């Protein structure tokens, strides 16, 4: 059953509500939200674009989503698509508890390299949102792609968002003799980014897991608000795709319904 896509005004209103959600979560979570605010706006639009590709015209069943790494975006999805069944997968997180009708699957995606450890999913899913997680894994994305692709319905789509590892600002840092990659953190519960990928790398890794590329959106969605960040944001529309900071890539199973 097709639903109308949320309007830009509806998206902005819900993202503004997320800023209120962030207030009691402490300075770190408030800073994280402020940095990612534009990404949530862009993500809502990309999810709407992805859902529009699903052939649900003759279905009376609600759409089913699996959101990887529950967070602010999970709340946003619930509010923008209240009739969609949303399950989540990731670590336990008291800041973002499951909704009453939601299945929460606890699983470390680094363990997806061992198929015998794959958890049983509650459903097969029309769409899987895999947002800002793959860069935190110390294992190859091929393994998590294999696991998640097994949970996609035949017509399903998977949306992956992640920083662009070869964006212009990272190249400039390297030219200045500064490593653009952060150090692995000492806190094992929050290890930071182990590896960031380029667009072509992710498309190739997904292909090895039986996923084919549908479309890519790249832009400058995360920002510190600093003068240099504002300059890069202003220049982004004039940059080639692979110089842009943030990327969203949609995949489907190879040979899946179109």
Instruction: Please list the pLDDT of the chain residue by residue as tens digits (258 residues).
Output: 556 789 999 999 999 999 999 999 999 999 999 999 999 999 999 999 999 999 654 566 789 999 999 999 999 999 999 999 999 999 988 999 999 989 999 999 999 999 999 999 988 999 999 999 999 999 999 999 999 999 999 999 999 999 999 999 999 999 999 999 888 888 877 778 999 999 999 999 999 999 999 999 999 999 999 999 999 999 999 999 999 999 999 999 987 666
Q: Is residue 216 part of a domain?
A: yes
Q: What is the C-alpha to C-alpha distance for residues 211 and 15, in angstroms, rounded to an integer? A: 31
Q: pTM of the prediction?
A: 0.94
- Asked if 203 and 134 count as a contact pair (C-beta separation under 8 A), the reply is no
Q: Is residue 206 part of a domain?
A: yes
Q: Is residue 3 part of a domain?
A: no
> pLDDT at position 56, please?
55
> pLDDT at position 18, please?
97
Count how many domains the chain has. 1
**Could you list the residue range(s) of the whole structural domain that residue 138 is in?**
8-253
Q: Which token pair is 31?
A: 């800073």
- Strands (E) across 55-96 are located at 64-68, 85-90
Which residue bears the tokens 């061992």?
Answer: 114
Q: Is residue 2 part of a domain?
A: no
Q: Is residue 258 part of a domain?
A: no
Q: What is the C-alpha to C-alpha distance for residues 186 and 76, in angstroms, rounded to an integer? A: 31
Q: What is the C-alpha to C-alpha distance for residues 122 and 102, in angstroms, rounded to an integer? A: 10
CATH number for the domain harbouring residue 219: 3.40.50.150
> pLDDT at position 92, please?
87
Which residue bears the tokens 């240099």?
Answer: 228
Q: What is the C-alpha to C-alpha distance for residues 202 and 200, in angstroms, rounded to an integer? A: 6
């Amino acid at each position: 059953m097709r639903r109308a896509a949320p309007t830009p005004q509806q998206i902005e209103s819900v993202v503004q509500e997320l800023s209120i959600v962030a207030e009691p979560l402490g300075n770190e979570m408030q800073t994280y939200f402020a940095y990612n605010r534009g990404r949530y706006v862009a993500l809502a639009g990309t999810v709407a674009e992805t859902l529009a590709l699903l052939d649900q015209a003759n279905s009376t069943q609600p759409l089913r989503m699996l959101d990887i790494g529950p967070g602010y975006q999970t709340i946003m999805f619930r509010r923008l698509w209240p009739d969609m069944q949303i399950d989540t997968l990731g670590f336990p997180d008291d800041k973002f508890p499951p909704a009453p009708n939601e299945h929460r699957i606890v699983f470390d995606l680094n363990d997806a390299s061992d198929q015998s450890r794959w958890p049983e999913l509650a459903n097969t899913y029309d769409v899987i949102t895999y947002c800002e997680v793959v860069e935190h894994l110390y294992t190859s994305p091929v393994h998590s792609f294999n696991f998640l692709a097994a949970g996609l319905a035949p017509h399903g789509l998977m949306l992956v968002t992640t920083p662009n590892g070869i964006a212009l600002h990272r190249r400039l840092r390297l030219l200045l003799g500064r490593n653009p990659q952060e150090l692995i953190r000492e806190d094992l519960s929050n290890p930071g980014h182990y590896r960031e990928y380029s667009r072509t790398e992710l498309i190739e890794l997904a292909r090895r897991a039986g996923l084919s590329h549908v479309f890519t959106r790249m832009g400058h969605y995360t920002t510190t608000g600093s003068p240099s960040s504002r300059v890069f944001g202003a220049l982004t529309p004039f940059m080639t795709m692979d110089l842009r900071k943030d990327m969203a890539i949609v995949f489907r199973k190879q040979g899946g319904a179109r």
